[in-house]
Each structure stands twice: as structure tokens, then as C-alpha cells.
Amino acid sequence: MKKYLLLFIFLSATSLAFTQQKNISLEEIWGGKFSTKGLQELRSMNDGEHYTILNIDNARGVSSIEQFAYETLERTTTILSSEENGVPLFSSYTFSEDESKILLATEVERIYRRSRKGIYYVYDKARETTLKISDQKIMSPYLSPDGSKVAYVFENDLYLFELLTGSTQRITTDGEYNAIINGVTDWVYEEEFGFVRAFDWNSDGTILAFLRFDERAVPEFSMDVYGEDLYPSQHRFKYPKAGEENSKVTLHLYKLEEGSTVDIDLMDAYYIPRIQWKNQADELSVQTLNRAQNYLKIYTVNADEASVSLLLEEKDQAYVDVTDNLTFLADDSFIWTSEKSGFNHIYLYKPDGNLKKQLTEGPWEVTNYYGYDPGSKSIFYQSTENGSIVRDIYKIGINGRNKKRLTEMEGTNSAAFSTNYTYFINTFSNTEVPYRYTLHKASDGKKIKDILDNSSLAELLQGYNLSPKEFSTLEINGFDLNMWMIKPVDFDPNKKYPLLLFQYSGPGSQQVANRWLGSNDYWHQMLAQQGIVVACVDGRGTGFKGRDFKKMTYRELGKFEVEDQISAAKKLSEYSWIDEDRTGIWGWSYGGFMSSNCILQGNDTFELAIAVAPVT
């Protein structure tokens, strides 16, 4: 009798466990039920021992800057509060170089993807006073190194605001909409080179280097904007299509003491994607590219003589990526990242531009350069050394020795370092562990404290029918392509299942990565619960497997990527449990362009395609 009773209890408990497992719904996915908790954006203070975060209480209309200690993660003080210090509600902030002044953004209005304009104030910490820079909405305000001035752009002209006197000086006078832009980028630079502010202070605040965009020869494009009004308004802007004229971009130096502007002749420069002052107040580094973007040069501009000398040049048969990884050391030697070895690595150059040493090397990629610590003479970076679908944090000496891995968990690790590289906050996740934030010593990677995890989300998901994301490689067209696959929970190899491929496939992108789930992953889980096998293959042209693999699609966009997706679908349909007559593919943006091409060129392979916001 006891045996039957125990059996009944066991079966009842088992049945209850199964009934507790439920399927994911669309409402839960897009309603945010599975959203992860994250850290607020933090900024490291100059001392390297403290950081600040912005707190915004929209209900009360109050914002504040709170200071915390790295070692304890406890709040040490409130630096500024809109409630107590008599400043308006602000949505972002920037310290001056010496942290004596704080630039505050209010009433911010979006222009394009990265550009904004707003009403800005400067708060003086010592005097506890606030100054409004302008009654008009301005763009890209930037404090001088000593915090005494603010340069900004208004209606395509560059201005200078003096904090002590409250006076404003107009530096350029030819700015005009759809014609001349001074100090901020045109739409192409903003979108393709990823920056907006096109001016920079030298180290002692005596010179402003800025770019001027002459877009008068660029063809106009018009777009109907559907806002709150009954009828749409027409927005006309300069938009160069392939092969058309781009803005003519030139470099200029404004010398504050003389009140004069010097024009710099960069000769054959077509694009100027980066300007950056060196350690000396009279030397500016300038990166230029030809229109084909396969020939990059770094020049040194002597501001006193208005002379230009070539420091470094780099060529590629396809294209050269523009980055922000250029770092000048105290002796004018510099750190630079390059794919010239076939993989993205870190190099050290002498002050004259000759190579001193390749600091990292191997058939793997440096995926993030975090910076150089002169105290320990170490470089910190993220890489794929342990596999192209994972990320780890490393440090290495400036001599290329004593490399040390600072992270242990297998998955995706990313770091935010303190200013003096004493600490870093690691963000970790993999397909089984939601985002986890921990504090570490930068010297050896030792964990100091747990900051935040998403264990409550992990616990919540235990109540759902979820299938593991299985990683593998698929041999396609002579390449081992990274792949993940999600099978139905009750997978039976004796049954036949429809197959849906997901991909993005854009140049240098990656979808097959060992990291936590996004919204699409939950939708894929929902499809798997309906008996669909979902798979993703990163084909040729995607990133983190070397220069040749990424750049082979150069001037052949849509060729190799489509071939690989069609071949992958055909190969997967050979599996006994895949129904080759029910195969689909979907993607968003470039992935939408891809899925459209795949069903056109592979209509004997795919029966369905979903193209969301396709590039056309």
C-alpha cells in the first residue's frame, strides 16, 4: 500500500511540475515581462576612486548627480540636485576637465540618430552658481580644459561663451542651412563615421580646431514628416546617394588670443573622420580617408606654423575601419589598432610613426580597446581569444609581455574601468545567465563585490518551457560557420519539424554569440514551443573571424551572404528531423534585404521569407 501511495505522490508531484511550465506569449515578450535590470550609466571621477550616476525622478521633476565610492559601492555625496541647487531638471551632464564646472542639458530635442540640441547651463561647484549659455537651443557645447569657456554650435556657426563675463563671441559667420556647417558634422559623417561634434580644444584651451562642411554641391532629398499636425510637413536636407557629391570638408584652427582663424591644407583629404589634439598644445593629429575609404592617413598639424606632416598611413584592398583607439603617450609614441595582420590587434608606434612592436597577435580579434594606464604601463582590452562567440577582458604590458586574463566566466564579458584603472565593473552574461554586474580589481581581475544580477528573471524563466540555445559550426562553402539552434522542448528525432532561419548578415556583425537573450530570442522560443526549429548561421561577411572573412563581401554585398544562407538551409534540411518542404528565413534591416534575396534566389529552398525594414 505504501508503494502505491508513494507512486501516487510522485506522479502527482511530477504532473504538478509539468503543469507549472507554461509557454511564452507575445504579450509577455513585448510587454517587457522578461526585461533585464541594468546599471545606470556611470562616469568615473578623476581620482579613480569614485564615480557618479544621474538620478531622474520624473514624477517630482527632480534630477541629481550622486557620487559613489568604487570600493564600497555606497553613495558618498550628492554633487548637484535640481531641487536643492536651483538648477532646472537636467537630462545629462558633463564635467569640465578639472571637475570644477558641470555642463547640464535641458529641453533636449533630437535631430538625427546622434545629434541633439537643447538649452544648456553651466554649474560652478565652488561658487554654487548657474549660468545659462544661450536662450536658444544649441548643439554640442564643450567646456574648455580649464572650465572657463564653452564652445558650441548654433545655426551652423561656432560660438564661444565666456563664463566669467557671460559674453558670447561668434567665431564663424558663414553658416547656412543646407549650405555651410561649422563645428558639427553633416548627415553622412554623423551616420557613417559616428560623431557629431566636429571641434576640439587643445590642452591649454588657447586653440579650437574645427571642421567646416561645404554641402552646397550635395543633392537635396525631401521627406514628408508626419507629426502632430493634420498635414505632413516637408523636410529637405542634403543627402548624397552612391556616386554623388559629398560635402567638401576642410580643417581650421581658431586661435583665441589672436581672434583669428587659420586654414589648414590637408592636400588630398576627401574625408576627415577624426581630429584629436596630441599632448603638446600646438600639435593636432588628423585622420583622413580617400573616397574609396581604403587609404587612411594620420597627419600631425603644427598649429604654430600651420604645417602638416605625415605620421602614419594604412592601406587595405577593401576598406580601413575608422576607430577611436588612437592613444598618444607622454613621449609621443602612440597606440593604434589595425587589421593589417589579418586580425584586429594592438600596435605600438614610435613618435616618428615607425612601428615599435605588435603588442597582441594570433588568429583572434581585439574587439574593444579600453585604454592605457601609465601607472602600471598596461593596456586593457577585450578579445575573442577563447573563441569568436565569447568575449574576455585582458591586460598586457606596453612591452607586449605579462598578458593576463581578467575574467573567468565563459560567455560575454565587457568592462567599464575607473579613470586610474584601479577598478573595473564587469558585465557578464551567457545564454543561461542573465546580465550580472560585478566589481573587480584591474590589476589581477579579482572580484571585490557583486553589484547586481538578474537572478529573479532567471527564477521567473524556470516556470516556462524553454529550450537551450545549442552552439555548433556548420561547414558551408569551405568555411566553418558559427551556428546556434533552438529545438522544440519535446524534440523527437523521429518527427519532422519546419525550419526557420534567422540572420542579420551585415558586414562585421554577429548574431551567433554566447550572451543573454534579446526580444527576438524570446520570440524564437515561442516558435520552438509551437514545434518549429529555429537556427541562425553567421555567414561570410560577418565579424570576429578575421579580416578576410569579414571583408570578402566588399563590393559584392548580397552575394556570398545569400549563398551561405541558402547552402545552410539546404544542409540543415538534410537532417532527418527537418521538413525540407517547410523552410523559412527572416531578418531585420540588412537581414530583411537578405531574406528577400534568399527567397528570390533560393525559391527552391525557402517557402517563406519575412523582411522587416529591409535595406533596399
Instruction: Identify whether residues 457 and 540 lie together within a single domain.
Output: no
CA 537/CA 550 separation, integer angstroms: 14
Instruction: Identify whether residues 547 and 566 lie together within a single domain.
Output: yes
Helices (H), 484-588: 519-529, 547-551, 560-572
| Cβ proximity of 607 and 582 under 8 Å | yes
Instruction: Identify whether residues 411 and 472 lie together within a single domain.
Output: no
The amino acid present at 387, given as its one-letter code, is G
CA 347/CA 344 separation, integer angstroms: 10
Q: Would you tell me how many other CB atoms lie within 10 Å of the CB of residue 93?
A: 19
Q: What is the pLDDT of residues 183-194, one digit of tens each?
A: 999 999 999 999
Instruction: Identify whether residues 400 and 524 lie together within a single domain.
Output: no
Domain annotation covers residue 400: yes
- Has residue 49 got a pLDDT over 90? yes
Instruction: Identify whether residues 530 and 587 lie together within a single domain.
Output: yes
Domain annotation covers residue 280: no
Nearest to 440 by CA among 430, 457, 427, 429: 427
* Element spanning 237, H or E: strand 233-238
Domain annotation covers residue 581: yes
The amino acid present at 28, given as its one-letter code, is E
Q: What is the mean pLDDT of the chain?
A: 95
Nearest to 184 by CA among 148, 248, 140: 140
**Grid cell at residue 78:** 550628492
Query: For residue 227, what pLDDT is reported?
Result: 85
The enclosing domain of 396 has a CATH number of 2.120.10.30
| Cβ proximity of 595 and 608 under 8 Å | no
Strand intervals (E) in 96-187? 101-110, 116-124, 129-132, 139-143, 149-154, 157-162, 168-170, 180-182
Instruction: Identify whether residues 412 and 456 lie together within a single domain.
Output: yes
CA 439/CA 416 separation, integer angstroms: 10
Per-residue pLDDT band at 86 (split at 50, 70, 90): confident
Instruction: Identify whether residues 559 and 489 lie together within a single domain.
Output: yes
The amino acid present at 163, given as its one-letter code, is L
Domain annotation covers residue 256: no
Quote the number of domains for the chain.
2
Instruction: Give the residue from 463, 483, 498 where a domain finishes.
Output: 463
β-bridge partners, 54:
65
| Cβ proximity of 18 and 465 under 8 Å | no
Is this structure's pTM higher than 0.85?
Answer: yes
Query: For residue 84, what pLDDT is reported?
Result: 87
**Grid cell at residue 404:** 593576463
b/e sequence 379-399, b meaning 16+ C-beta within 10 Å: bbbbbbbeebbbbbbbbbebe
b/e sequence 334-350, b meaning 16+ C-beta within 10 Å: bbbbbbbeebbbbbbbe
The phi-psi region of residue 352 (left if phi > 0; otherwise alpha if psi is between -120 and 50; otherwise beta) is alpha
Instruction: Identify whether residues 481 and 606 lie together within a single domain.
Output: yes
- Has residue 146 got a pLDDT over 50? yes
Q: Would you tell me how many other CB atoms lie within 10 Å of the CB of residue 301?
A: 24
Q: Is the dihedral of CA 331, 332, 333, 334 positive or negative?
A: positive
- Has residue 401 got a pLDDT over 80? yes
**Grid cell at residue 63:** 534630477
Computed on alpha carbons and rounded to an integer, the radius of gyration of the chain in Å comes to 27
Instruction: Identify whether residues 445 and 486 lie together within a single domain.
Output: no
The enclosing domain of 543 has a CATH number of 3.40.50.1820
- Has residue 6 got a pLDDT over 50? no
Helices (H), 106-221: 187-188
- Has residue 586 got a pLDDT over 70? yes
- Has residue 411 got a pLDDT over 50? yes
- Has residue 561 got a pLDDT over 80? yes
Nearest to 262 by CA among 300, 299, 307, 298: 307
CA 85/CA 75 separation, integer angstroms: 19
Instruction: Give the residue from 442, 463, 484 where a domain finishes.
Output: 463
CA 544/CA 550 separation, integer angstroms: 8
Instruction: Identify whether residues 365 and 418 lie together within a single domain.
Output: yes
CA 37/CA 35 separation, integer angstroms: 7
The amino acid present at 282, given as its one-letter code, is D
CA 330/CA 28 separation, integer angstroms: 54
List Cβ neighbours of 169 (8 Å cut-off, separation of 6 or more).
159, 160, 161, 162
Domain annotation covers residue 168: no
**Grid cell at residue 252:** 581650421
DSSP category for residue 565: H
Task: Give the domain extent around 513.
Answer: 465-612
Long-range contacts of range 421-429, CB-CB < 8 Å, 24 or more positions apart?
A: 421/48, 421/371, 421/373, 421/375, 421/376, 421/378, 421/380, 422/48, 422/49, 422/70, 423/48, 423/70, 423/71, 423/448, 424/380, 424/393, 425/39, 425/42, 425/451, 426/393, 427/39, 429/515, 429/516
* Element spanning 329, H or E: none
| Cβ proximity of 489 and 431 under 8 Å | no
Domain annotation covers residue 258: no
Query: For residue 20, what pLDDT is reported?
Result: 64
State the DSSP string of 441-493: ETTT--EEEEEE--HHHHHHHTTB----EEEEEEEETTEEEEEEEE--TT--T
Instruction: Identify whether residues 369 and 503 lie together within a single domain.
Output: no
| Cβ proximity of 323 and 337 under 8 Å | yes
| CB-facing half-sphere around the CA of 193: CA atoms within 13 A | 23
φ/ψ (deg, to 5) at 157? -120, 155
Q: What is the pLDDT of residues 212-257, one digit of tens each?
A: 999 999 999 999 999 888 999 999 999 999 999 999 999 999 999 9
- Has residue 378 got a pLDDT over 80? yes
Nearest to 70 by CA among 453, 375, 442, 434: 442
List Cβ neighbours of 65 (8 Å cut-off, separation of 6 or more).
52, 53, 54, 55, 78, 79, 80, 81, 93, 102
**In percent, how much of the chain has pLDDT > 90?**
94
Q: What is the pLDDT of residues 274-308, one digit of tens each?
A: 999 999 999 999 999 999 999 999 999 999 999 99
Domain annotation covers residue 195: no
Q: What is the pLDDT of residues 521-558, one digit of tens each?
A: 999 999 999 999 999 999 999 999 999 999 999 999 99
Instruction: Give the residue from 447, 463, 479 where a domain finishes.
Output: 463
Which strands sit side by side in the sheet containing 149-154, from one edge to the other?
A: 139-143, 149-154, 157-162, 168-170
DSSP category for residue 191: I
Per-residue pLDDT band at 15 (split at 50, 70, 90): very low
**In percent, how much of the chain has pLDDT > 70?**
97
Q: What is the pLDDT of residues 63-82, one digit of tens each?
A: 999 999 999 999 999 999 99
Instruction: Identify whether residues 503 and 578 lie together within a single domain.
Output: yes
* Element spanning 172, H or E: none
By three-state DSSP, how is residue 254 classified?
strand
Domain annotation covers residue 254: no
